Structure 1
Amino acid sequence: MTWNTQPRAAFDLETTGRNSRAARIVTASIAVLRADGSVESEHEWLADPGVEIPAEAAEVHGITTEKARAEGRPALEVVAEVAETLQGLFDRGIPVVAFNACYDFTVMAAECARHGVPQLTRFPVLDPYVINKQVEKYRKGKRTLSALCEQYGVMLTEAHTSAADALAAAQLLDAMASRFPELHRPAAHLHTSQVDWSAAQAADFQSYLRRTKPTAVVEGDWPVLAPQDEGRGGF
C-alpha cells in the first residue's frame, strides 16, 4: 500500500531561531489526515520557551516573548506532549509529513535531550523539500514552502504559522505525487530513499561550495542531524 492511500500526519514547528540544534519550540502543530487527505484531528501547542524570543523570529511567526510567557505552557510539558503524539503516530505506522523535516526533527531531538524526554524513532517521515530536490533536480528559483505551494497550486494562508504550514506541506506532497507517479510507494521505502537522497544532495552542494570555500561543510543527515558536543554548540 502506498503512503498516499493511507492515513498520514503533518507536523511543523515555529521556533526561536534558525539553528536547529539551539532553537527552542514556540508553537507546534500536528494534523492527522485520513486516507483521502481530509483532516481527522488537529493538535496545537504554544510554549513558553524559557528564553527570549528574538525580534526577527517573532516577526516571522507573530509570537513575542511577552505573549509566550503570558499564554504559553512550560516548555517541558509541550515538548513531552509533542513527542508523545509523534511517537504514537510512528508506533501506528502512520507517516509524518514535514517540510524540511531535518530542521523540525533536529529541534525536537535537541529539546528532548534538553528536557530529559525520550528520543523519537522518527520513522517513517516524508519530506516534500528533499523529495522535490530529487524529482525536480534542475528546478530554478527558491524551494521554500511558499514557492512550491504556489507552483503546485496549494493554498497557503497564514504562512509561518505552524498549523498552516503543516497542512500545506501535506497538501504539497499530495500534489507532487499526482505529478510524479514514482512517489507512489510505501512510506517506509520512500523514507529510506530520502536518507540516500539527502546525503547525495548535501554532497553535491558541498562540492559546489568548495570551488570557492575549500572548507565548506554541508551536513546530509536526515531526518535528524547528528548531535554535537557542547563545545561545538550542539545539543
Structure 2
Amino acid sequence: MQEPLAMFRRPEWTRVVGVFDLETTGVDVTRDRIVTAHVGVLDAAGSVLTAHDWLADPGVPIPEGASAIHGVSTEYARAHGRPAPEVVQEVVDALRGIMDAGIPVVAYNAPYDFSLLKHEALRHGVEPILSPSPVIDPLVVDKAYDRWRRGKRTLTVVAQHYAVRLDAAHEASADAIAAGRVAQALAERFAPWLPASAHELHTRQIGWARAQAASLTDYFIQIGRLDPTERLDGDWPIR
C-alpha cells in the first residue's frame, strides 16, 4: 500500500538551516557593492536561533533606485555604516562557520548573493568563498518541483504562495529569514521527492539551475529578448 504524503517526514537538513541575504548598490555582481547583509540560523520551526546584521559604507554612492528598494541612502551609509572590508570579512567568516558545521545555507537566487560577495571579497583582499556548499536555493527548488505554475517567482510572490510571512521585503534580515522558511515549506510540501541530504540536494540544484537557464534562454530568444547567439548563465550556486 502506498503511504499517504503526510507520512513522509521533512529531510533532516530542515532541522537547522543557515540564511543569507545581501542588499546592494545594484544588480551587477562584478561591480556593485554590499550595503546591508544578514547571516543567521533557523531551527526546525523557522524560529531564529542566531542573527547577525551588517550595515556597510560601500565606498561609492548608492544610486537612488537602489535606495528606494532597500531604504539606505548614501548619506546614511556613510554616517552609520562600517568600513566595507570589515563587513565583507565578517560576512565571509560567518558563512564559512555555518557551512563548516555542515549546516546548509539558504539563499534565494543564490548565484547573485554568493557571486557579489565573492567579488567584494576579491576587491577588499578577503579570501573569497569560491565553492559554497551545501546551499539551498528556494528559487531553483520551487521551479524544479512546480515548473508550470504561472506568475512571477520573486521572493515576495513565492513566500505568499507557501504561506510564509514577509513583512519587510528587500530588508536583508527579513528576506533571509523568509527564504529560510520558504525552503522549509518546500521541504514539507515535496518531502516524498526531495533528496535526504543537503549535499545531494545541492548537487541536484546544479543540474536544475543549468536546465532552467537553458529553458529561459530558449523562451527569451523566442520572444526576441535575447539574440539567438546569447545564453543565460546557468552556473550555480556561484558565477
TM-score greater than 0.5 by the shorter chain: yes
Residue 198 of structure 1: aligned partner = 209
Residue 217 of structure 1: aligned partner = 231
- Select 2:141's aligned residue among 126, 131, 139: 131
- Select 1:113's aligned residue among 109, 122, 126: 122
User: Which sections of structure 1, spanning at least 5 residues, go unmatched?
Assistant: 226-235
Q: Per-residue CA shift, 1:52-93, capped at 9, x if unaligned?
A: 000000000000000000000000000000000101111111
Amino acid at match of 1:198: A
Residue 8 of structure 2: aligned partner = none
Q: Per-residue CA shift, 1:6-58, capped at 9, x if unaligned?
A: 32111100000011222100000011122443211100000000000000000
Question: What is the aligned-residue identity percentage?
Answer: 49
Residue 97 of structure 1: aligned partner = 106
Amino acid at match of 1:190: L
By how many angstroms is 1:184 displaced? 5.3
Q: State the alpha-carbon separation in 2 of the partners of residues 185 and 20 from structure 1.
A: 32
CA separation of 1:184 and 1:174: change in aligned 2, threshold 3 A: farther
Q: Per-residue CA shift, 1:183-219, capped at 9, x if unaligned?
A: 2521000000001100111111112223332122200
Q: State the alpha-carbon separation in 2 of the partners of residues 219 and 46 from structure 1.
A: 30
Amino acid at match of 2:236: W
Residue 19 of structure 2: aligned partner = 10
Amino acid at match of 1:125: V
Q: State the alpha-carbon separation in 1 of the partners of residues 88 and 166 from structure 2.
A: 26
Moved more, 191-200 or 31-40: 31-40
- Answering whether residue 99 of structure 2 is matched by residue 64 of structure 1, we say no
- The question of whether the paired residues in 2 share the 8 Å contact of 1:209 and 1:216 is answered with no
- The question of whether the paired residues in 2 share the 8 Å contact of 1:177 and 1:184 is answered with no
Amino acid at match of 1:219: D
- Normalising by the residue count of structure 2, what TM-score does the alignment of the two structures yield? 0.90
Residue 75 of structure 1: aligned partner = 84
- Answering whether residue 59 of structure 2 is matched by residue 50 of structure 1, we say yes
- The question of whether the paired residues in 2 share the 8 Å contact of 1:31 and 1:39 is answered with yes
Residue 171 of structure 1: aligned partner = 181
- Answering whether residue 153 of structure 2 is matched by residue 143 of structure 1, we say yes
User: Which sections of structure 2, spanning at least 5 residues, go unmatched?
Assistant: 1-10
Q: State the alpha-carbon separation in 2 of the partners of residues 184 and 196 from structure 1.
A: 14
By how many angstroms is 1:119 displaced? 1.6
Amino acid at match of 2:122: A
- The question of whether the paired residues in 2 share the 8 Å contact of 1:3 and 1:184 is answered with no
Q: State the alpha-carbon separation in 2 of the partners of residues 103 and 113 from structure 1.
A: 16
SS at match of 1:37: coil
- The question of whether the paired residues in 2 share the 8 Å contact of 1:93 and 1:124 is answered with yes
Supply the RMSD in Å over aligned alpha carbons: 1.2
Residue 229 of structure 1: aligned partner = none
Q: State the alpha-carbon separation in 1 of the partners of residues 195 and 212 from structure 2.
A: 21
Q: State the alpha-carbon separation in 1 of the partners of residues 219 and 195 from structure 2.
A: 31
Q: State the alpha-carbon separation in 1 of the partners of residues 45 and 166 from structure 2.
A: 19
Moved more, 27-36 or 145-154: 27-36
Amino acid at match of 1:28: A
- Normalising by the residue count of structure 1, what TM-score does the alignment of the two structures yield? 0.92
